[in-house]
Amino acid sequence: MKKILIIGATSAIAGATARLFAERGDALYLVGRNNDKLQVLAGDLRVRGRGQVVTEELDLNDMAAHEAMIARATAALQGLDAALIAHGTLSDQSACQASVEMTLMEIKTNALSAISLLTLLANIFEAQKQGCIAVISSVAGDRGRQSNYVYGSAKAMVTAFLSGLRQRLAKAGVSVVTVKPGFVDTPMTSGFKKGPLWAVPEKVAADIVHAMDGKGGEIYTPWFWRFIMLIIRHIPEVIFKRLRL
Amino acid sequence: MAQQILRSWGRVLAAPADVVDMPAAAAPFPALPAGSSSLLPFGKGRSYGDSCLNPGGALLRTKNLDHFISFDKDTGILVCEAGVQLADILRVIVPQGWFLPVTPGTRFVTVGGAIANDVHGKNHHRNGAFGCHVRRFELLRSNNERLICSAEENADWFSATIGGIGLTGLITWVELQMQPISGPWMDVETLHFSSLDEFGKLTAESDSRFEYVVAWLDCSDAVGRGIFFRANHSAETEQYKKPLCLSLPVVPPVSFVNNLSIKLFNTLYNKKSDGSSRAHYEPFFYPLDGVGNWNRIYGPKGFYQYQCVIPARHGLAPIQEMLAAVSKNGMSSFLSVLKGFGSKPSPGMMSFPCEGVTLALDFANTGASVQRLFAALDEIVAGVDGRLYPAKDGRMSGALFRAGYPVLEKFSTFVDPAFSSGFWRRVMEGK
């Protein structure tokens, strides 16, 4: 039985991951913005699992509240073995282009709030010398593309931050997992046309649990995105700037 | 709003539809997408024909309504949202000593779909249809009215929605009664029979002693031979490893199912020896769930299932006639299932089962030749006041449907004005 903090728990990927944790008997502390959704999820997890499920409603852009939330989670579960940070918004690229305010808000939601949480969690996990921190980043962070570079650059920041954090925490025996999902069929992407590259949240969740149980590191999910992004990263700028990606 | 091409399980029909996802059980009824005049709830798309499709209209998917609400392991009462799959229910309740009171031949259907089609299983002679075990549900109408329906409260809506093929509104959550079991095992007896008379005798002697009874028919000729399976939940409590699951990843360019392969399959299957055995509930109830996307075996043109019920007073003679018709038309059915229905009534006014015997036949979509056969089978069914199962149907005439479901006029008054389906428009045409 593990004690797991899930931040942004009502996202489709986090919800599917929480089910896998609950089914194996883990105790869960769920944090999310919408209390109605949190209660529906918590009720579901209580039927599927036998472990403890606690919820907390919090807007994660309220960074001043992060420290107290983590303290409450630690107290409620009597310790933490793992944390999964999964909150985020899929930025409206064209709206961001027209608004500095919106661009900065997207960066705050998708990067800064995660970095605030990571800074606090890293110190706790480093001191206790065990555990796993996992964050849902994105393949979009591997290279900025005109269609979503605001979201992509926020995720790039998270990915780079985690890369450094992984090095630092390795000495303390704490694993750090960077999850890079490709296209996932969730409410966040409901407006998109789906094709063969699209994965279901349950598949991504299984990959996350597998990585969090293992040694950590960067995972692409589904796995083939590693090769797609390898190609995309290596396209020379001269050609890249003419592409419509 | 995304337009998607969705197919039903038989893969004969492909209809582009606007897909709308119901965000949550408590969410207000969504607006109809621009250009769509109607909408139909869509679960897993496991109906075979057009009863789960709405060509030119919208489909309201229930995949976000997949949460359990509560399960009382002392009373076996389960409350969950309508998009929860039977497979998920089994995963939760079997280790706690409970089982579905009625299950169809696949566990990959939603609870909402099971109610909308009032599905039945191998224990119909004991437990009736799925609707017999529904305690309550909430029905969300397109005018945003929420009706709690049970045998006592809004009883007419309860009756219209069970077997109401998704047309009376959206079921958001349901309360079901589960049945207690000792463990995941089944004690199964396998017996060969060489005529329909023998099948009849086996059914008569088995119904009181066995919870589950079903027969597989060898359709490669018209004799009416086959294999009879009867089983009870076992008192054995040990758990065991899950069986392997294969999947058909792509649609083969041609159908693998033809008279030759059917003959081969039947010959091999017939070699199954008589006797008693212990089986896990998964391969017993869901042999085809072990092969993901088995429906693709029929190739790009897909297949039809023909499932009828013959009222008890006509005995098995009409079944013999139907087997003769299949044989005469030079057709063969890969999977043919024969089963007696009991007398327990369902609360659903449009429920398919009635006391008698049901025959289900699968045919590759071979165009005109299979349609000719269906016309011959329809004639036999209509002649004995039998009826076809909408969940399996993609082609029956409106006249045959109306003759089989005389309560239709009354049912129509419960259909939500914003709801429709390909099936509904087809069978109500010219009415």
- pLDDT tens, position by position, B20-65: 999 999 999 999 988 888 999 999 999 999 999 999 899 999 999 9
Contact (CB<8Å) B2/A190: yes
Q: How far apart are CA B165 and CA B51, in angstroms?
A: 7
DSSP-derived 3-state class of residue B194:
coil
**pLDDT confidence of residue B293:** 82
CB B345 within 8 A of CB B278: no
**pLDDT confidence of residue B361:** 94
Calculate the CA dihedral of residues B142, B143, B148, B150 and round it to 10 degrees.
Answer: -60
Residue B417 lies in a domain: no
Among the listed residues B10, B142, B160, B27, the one whose alpha carbon sits nearest the alpha carbon of residue B82: B27
- pLDDT tens, position by position, B361-417: 999 898 899 999 999 999 999 999 999 999 999 999 999 999 999 999 999 999 999
**Do B43 and B107 fall into the same domain?**
no
Q: Please name the amino acid found at residue B222.
A: A
Residue B414 lies in a domain: no
Task: Say which CATH number the domain at B136 has.
Answer: 3.30.465.10
Q: Does the pLDDT at position B151 exceed 60?
A: yes
Boundary of a domain, candidates B181, B198, B216: B181
**Percentage with pLDDT > 90 across chain B:** 73
| Residue in B closest to A191 by C-alpha | B1
For the annotated catalytic residues of A, the residue numbers are: 151
Query: What's the rounded mean pLDDT across residues B188-211?
Result: 94
Q: Does the pLDDT at position B249 exceed 90?
A: no
Identify whether A222 is preceded by a cis peptide bond (ω within 30 of 0). yes
Site from A44, A45, A198 to mutate, B interface, most B CB atoms within 10 angstroms = A44
pLDDT band at A196 (very low <50, low <70, confident <90, very high): confident
Site from B19, B61, B67, B85 to mutate, A interface, most A CB atoms within 10 angstroms = B67
Q: How far apart are CA A205 and CA B8, in angstroms?
A: 27
- Between B119 and B303, the more confident residue is B119
Mean pLDDT of chain B: 91
Q: Taking chain A, what is the end-to-end CA distance rounded to the nearest angstrom?
A: 44
Exposed e or buried b for every residue in B304-334, given b needs 16+ CB within 10 A? bbbbbbbbeebbbebbbbbbbbbeebebbbb
**Do B299 and B317 fall into the same domain?**
yes
Task: Say which CATH number the domain at B329 has.
Answer: 3.30.70.2520
Name every residue whose Cβ is closer than 8 Å to that of residue B55 and which is 6 or more positions away in sequence.
B13, B15, B16, B17, B422
Boundary of a domain, candidates B116, B149, B181: B181
Residue B327 lies in a domain: yes
**pLDDT confidence of residue B253:** 66
**pLDDT confidence of residue A238:** 93
Q: How far apart are CA B127 and CA B180, in angstroms?
A: 13
Token pair for B93: 């309740």
Exposed e or buried b for every residue in A151-164, given b needs 16+ CB within 10 A? bbbbbbbbbebbee
Token pair for B309: 């019920």
Please give the interface size between A and B, counted as residue pairs whose CB atoms are below 8 Å apart.
Answer: 37
Instruction: Give me the residues paired with residue A82 across strands.
Output: A4, A132
Boundary of a domain, candidates B165, B181, B197: B181
**pLDDT confidence of residue B2:** 64
**Do B302 and B209 fall into the same domain?**
yes
Among the listed residues B288, B337, B352, the one whose alpha carbon sits nearest the alpha carbon of residue B119: B352
The phi-psi region of residue A40 (left if phi > 0; otherwise alpha if psi is between -120 and 50; otherwise beta) is alpha
**pLDDT confidence of residue B243:** 55
**pLDDT confidence of residue B241:** 58
Token pair for A3: 């004690």
| Residue in A closest to B64 by C-alpha | A187
Among the listed residues B179, B152, B59, B170, the one whose alpha carbon sits nearest the alpha carbon of residue B113: B170
Query: What's the rounded mean pLDDT across residues A67-95?
Result: 96
CB B272 within 8 A of CB B266: no
Contact (CB<8Å) A47/B69: yes
Query: What's the rounded mean pLDDT across residues B105-110?
Result: 95
**Do B78 and B113 fall into the same domain?**
yes
- pLDDT tens, position by position, A115-139: 999 999 999 999 999 999 999 999 9
- pLDDT tens, position by position, A199-240: 999 999 999 999 999 988 999 999 999 999 999 999 999 999
Domain interval for residue B48: 4-62+423-429
**pLDDT confidence of residue B45:** 92
Name every residue whose Cβ is closer than 8 Å to that of residue B353 and which is 6 or more positions away in sequence.
B118, B120, B124, B128, B129, B309, B341, B346
pLDDT band at B252 (very low <50, low <70, confident <90, very high): low
**Do B140 and B238 fall into the same domain?**
no
Query: What's the rounded mean pLDDT across residues B254-272?
Result: 71
Query: Which H/E stretch holds residue A30?
Result: strand A27-32
B37-41, B90-94, B262-266, B419-423: range with lowest mean pLDDT: B262-266
Contact (CB<8Å) A190/B4: no
**Do B211 and B301 fall into the same domain?**
yes
Residue B162 lies in a domain: yes
**Do B17 and B140 fall into the same domain?**
no
**Do B208 and B235 fall into the same domain?**
yes
**pLDDT confidence of residue B314:** 96
Residue B415 lies in a domain: no
**Do B142 and B216 fall into the same domain?**
no
Q: Does the pLDDT at position A190 exceed 80?
A: no
**Do B256 and B174 fall into the same domain?**
no
Residue B410 lies in a domain: no
Contact (CB<8Å) A37/B70: no
A59-63, B198-202, B207-211, B250-254: range with lowest mean pLDDT: B250-254
Number of domains in chain B: 3
**Do B173 and B294 fall into the same domain?**
no
In order of A53, A193, B100, B347, B389, the CA distances from B49 in angstroms are 42, 25, 25, 24, 10
- Between A126 and B276, the more confident residue is A126
Query: Which H/E stretch holds residue A42?
Result: helix A35-48
**Do B144 and B221 fall into the same domain?**
no
